[in-house]
Structure 1
Amino acid sequence: MAFAAFGIANAKPQSTDGPSPATDTASDQSGSHTDDPLPSPGAAEALPKASAYERVIGNFPVSPSLFPIVNQRSGWLRRHGTIVQFDNLNEFMAAVTAPTPGHGYRQGSSNAGQYALNVLTDWDRLLGWSGFTTHAVVVGRYGTTANRMFGDWLAHSQETYGGGGNVVVHLVMAYGEQHLLEDRLAIAAGRMAQLSDFATGSLFCTFMNNSFCGRPKGASDSIYYSSYPSSVWAARVRFRPLRRDIYVQTGVYFAEEGIFSPARNRSGFHLSGAYHVGEIFPVEVGWQPNFRRRSGEVAFPGHYKLGFAVERVTRDENFLDSLGNPYSESGFSAARSNGSWSSWFLMDQRLWTSRKHTKTGLSLLAGAVLNSPKTALRDRQFYAGLILNGFWTSRPSDTIGLAFSYMHIANGVQKTEERLLMQNKPLPYRATGVQTDAEVIELNYGFPIGRAITMEPDIQYYHHPNGQRNLRDAVMLGFRSHVEIF
């Protein structure tokens, strides 16, 4: 029973977005980030009954691949408690509409992608260490994102862009996890990403836009929130004290300066902690119900998450200086806040499931993120989406996704930019006008080709790119492909 990662068995490649930068310089360095093919085990699904536990690494289902021999059940790796997966995710986007003239923007297209190697090891099979597993992920990334061509720096059209250092091998995470008390208790430590454990979900990466994929973008508003593909030293505890479908998790993540910066941590192997600047303490409570039909058949799974994170990191405020005056007018630096916070409520629920094909159904996802208005760029985000599997009866694996996101820019940011604009001074966050709110709509259709390739044509609509009303709305067309190599 070493491996309670039953949720991983159902996981598609997933992405997680990186933070929004606090300054223009950081913006250029970090980017948005993502694709977590194997999210942290344990919180994706409710645990089965205790009688179902066994050494599951030997029977662990892996995604169909081009070379299934690597992870075959009777193979050398599986017999030695190890699963090795390698895949490629590629995303292409092109702007259909012309950008706003006068700012140096252009109409164009771009391609971005990543290949990822994931290694899961069950140490019960190797050394008889019951309940202990390790998880290591490395990636390589290439390309750039198309939304910056028309002036948007808030939500990347290709979520897999950035953060990977644009190197051949970038360490994403490497940690160990001990499962105890029939897997009701899980303790993990090592190089981990906070936003791969908290405020995440299994359906977000049905979508390509960074407003949704991995998690709602507002949840990563701080540059100190570690997110795939960058990690920090951390420890996390997840416990299911009363019911197996309810968990409580918390942890400590040691925030580092420049974790998304190629200048400081290009390869991801900077492990000394020399840039440690504080700690982040997230807490999340989750409920994972499996509602049944009258016949007793499980048909309507859901996930509900409520969380809060407190930062012990010094950050710039977005409006006032240390004397309580607008820093944009006083000439002094922005006040430094000794702490900040973020909160979230996330849910997804299967609304309808076909009696003929269990994969066919309609799911709703929705949620809200609220951040400290003194330090955030986005002080709140609301989103909703629908995912329909099996639109065609003969193709139950095809997926249609439609999602909408609303992001509000903090009032302090708006007031600062208004004052700077009147003084003809440069604006923060790469803005060319006052930022107020931004909306993104995405529609896509995903379908498998053979056993190991998935294609997803995609259309995105940006209303108020970069949160600016002085920029034209933008329409983008593109596609995503995913290949499971082994």
Structure 2
Amino acid sequence: MRAALGGLTMAAVMGLASPASAQVVQNPTALSQFGNDLLNDGIFLRGHYVGEFAANPSGGNSQSARYAGQVDIGADFDMGKIAGLGNSAIHLTFSDRHGQNLAATNIGNSVSVQEVYGGGQTYRLTELTWDQAILDDHVEFLVGRTDAPGDFAASSFYCNFQTNSTCGNSSLFGQDNSLNYFPVGVWGGRVTVKPTPNLYGQIGAYEQDPSQGAESTHGFDFGVDRATGYVIPVEFGYQTTFASDAYPRHYKVGAFYDSGDYNDPFFDVTHNSAALTGLAHAQHSGRTSVYGLFDQMIWKPDAAAQRGLYVFGGVTAGTDSAQTADFFLQGGLLDKGPWAGRENDTIGFVVTDLHFGNRSQAFLRDSRVAAGGSATTQNPNEVMMEVNYGAQITPWLRVVPNLQYIVNPDNLPEPSQRSNIPDTFVVGLKFAIGLPELFGLPTKNYNH
């Protein structure tokens, strides 16, 4: 059912496809037999730990090293087995994030180089949803405490990387929408229609509540009195698998409508420069972002192989001059199983370009003037790159050393800086531990 973290095995968390059937442990220990018994009764336990280290030996505002981590634990309850309610499930996820953000503390960039940082560095209830498929799985709906970016404008390719410019969604959404991202859950849901195995369309509606991401909240406040609006995403896609295509692919187009109020990047309430007057920014209401994304296998070592080279990319754009960023471009390559015998390893490269609008650039210029600097203009193209190798060390441990580079860090966290931030080189290390695999528990993927 759900193609987000809540229902996936450790391999899928790191961007590797996994089968949609239960994998019962053979020759089980007492603990794994307990897991088998639960799975046979319709209860699947899951959990992961993801850690990300990052250091900038050159560039940024200062040199340092930071670590951020995330643990999530949860369960999926097969309500067909438990209560005879057809093809349905309850997803329950708790998470805890901890650590520091190198981009904010030392680089000065608004887009992080550790994608597990954010959403409040604390424990929280992340997901509590009802997931129901009907009409022979042609229609599925999910509703409850959840997040929109887990189901829209997402791809299993993106979180093979540590950079938050692409994992888990386009970084333009962080500039031009007030979305609540994993691990922050809000009231919402979606309906997905699949007329054929290859075609789908889906629409959702989600509460907009920035307060849910505060460290003082833990996901248990179910009230809606602090909601600031709503987000409506829509997406249409075409997708294939090895069962129907020798070179599997995904193509998708969609849009997000955000009903909430937001600040003009440049103008104040008197339609002058907010950076120079110090007055409150002018307010706008309602904004839209559109996107088109794809990935496709383009090479494999032989006709029967299910490993090979994929290309992926896309464009995301804001539709109004008052939005912070104009557009976002991304492209990359991912080699799954680069050598025989290393089918679960990957080699990845991604490059992104986040282009800021004229009003955002003018605000940074005037902020420097107000701080006593020169009226220099920030380059509007923030380019972020990563190259990495993902090594599946054991069934439960995956390690991804990576190198990242940021051209034209955006200065948005500290707009009063008097000069541009130097281009930044980052050395990173991401690792993921699958808790079911570590303890010999059965695994399952609820992804339809």
* Larger relative contact order (CA 8 Å, sep ≥ 6): 2
Residue type at the aligned position of 2:371: N
Aligned residue in 1 for 2:223: 272
DSSP 3-state at the match of 2:289? strand
Aligned residue in 2 for 1:142: 98
CA distance 1:74–1:134, change in 2 (3 Å): closer
Aligned residue in 2 for 1:463: 407
**Alpha-carbon offset, residue 325 of structure 1:** 3.9
Aligned partners of 2:59 and 2:421 also within 8 Å: no
Does 1:335 pair with 2:335? no
CA distance 1:149–1:256, change in 2 (3 Å): closer
**Alpha-carbon offset, residue 433 of structure 1:** 7.6
Aligned residue in 2 for 1:385: 332
- In structure 2, runs of 5+ residues without a counterpart are 413-418, 437-448
**Alpha-carbon offset, residue 141 of structure 1:** 1.6
Aligned partners of 1:283 and 1:309 also within 8 Å: yes
Aligned partners of 2:2 and 2:131 also within 8 Å: no
**Alpha-carbon offset, residue 70 of structure 1:** 5.6
Aligned residue in 2 for 1:258: 211
State which of 47, 50, 58 in structure 2 corresponds to 1:97.
58
Aligned residue in 2 for 1:315: 262
- What are the within-5 Å matches in structure 2 for residues 177-196 of structure 1? 177-196=131-150
- What are the within-5 Å matches in structure 2 for residues 406-485 of structure 1? 406-424=353-371, 434=378, 436-466=380-410, 470-485=420-435
**Alpha-carbon offset, residue 404 of structure 1:** 0.4
Aligned residue in 2 for 1:110: 66
- What are the within-5 Å matches in structure 2 for residues 62-141 of structure 1? 75-99=36-60, 105-141=61-97
Question: Cα deviations across residues 459-480 of structure 1 (Å, max 9, x unaligned)?
Answer: 1111112268822111111211
Question: Cα deviations across residues 298-321 of structure 1 (Å, max 9, x unaligned)?
Answer: 421111110111121111111234
Q: Distance in 2 between matches of 1:4 and 1:376?
A: 31
Q: Distance in 2 between matches of 1:255 and 1:268?
A: 14
Q: Distance in 2 between matches of 1:109 and 1:156?
A: 13
DSSP 3-state at the match of 2:58? coil
Q: Distance in 2 between matches of 1:209 and 1:283?
A: 26
How many pairs does the alignment contain? 427
Aligned partners of 2:242 and 2:306 also within 8 Å: no
Aligned residue in 1 for 2:124: 170
**Alpha-carbon offset, residue 13 of structure 1:** 5.3
- What are the within-5 Å matches in structure 2 for residues 200-219 of structure 1? 200-219=154-173
Q: Distance in 2 between matches of 1:144 and 1:426?
A: 30
CA distance 1:375–1:255, change in 2 (3 Å): farther
DSSP 3-state at the match of 2:410? helix
**Alpha-carbon offset, residue 442 of structure 1:** 0.4
Q: Distance in 1 between matches of 2:267 and 2:74?
A: 45
Aligned residue in 1 for 2:440: none
Aligned partners of 1:71 and 1:84 also within 8 Å: no
Aligned partners of 1:391 and 1:399 also within 8 Å: yes
Aligned residue in 1 for 2:180: 226
Q: Percent identity?
A: 25
**Alpha-carbon offset, residue 330 of structure 1:** 5.3
Aligned partners of 1:373 and 1:410 also within 8 Å: no
Aligned residue in 2 for 1:32: none
**Alpha-carbon offset, residue 71 of structure 1:** 6.3
- In structure 1, runs of 5+ residues without a counterpart are 16-36, 39-43, 49-55, 100-104
- Per the normalisation by structure 1, the TM-score is 0.80
State which of 1, 16, 22 in structure 2 corresponds to 1:60.
22
* RMSD between aligned residues: 3.2
Does 1:286 pair with 2:286? no
CA distance 1:108–1:92, change in 2 (3 Å): same
CA distance 1:14–1:220, change in 2 (3 Å): farther
CA distance 1:172–1:4, change in 2 (3 Å): closer
Q: Distance in 2 between matches of 1:174 and 1:474?
A: 39
**Alpha-carbon offset, residue 130 of structure 1:** 0.6
Residue type at the aligned position of 2:249: G
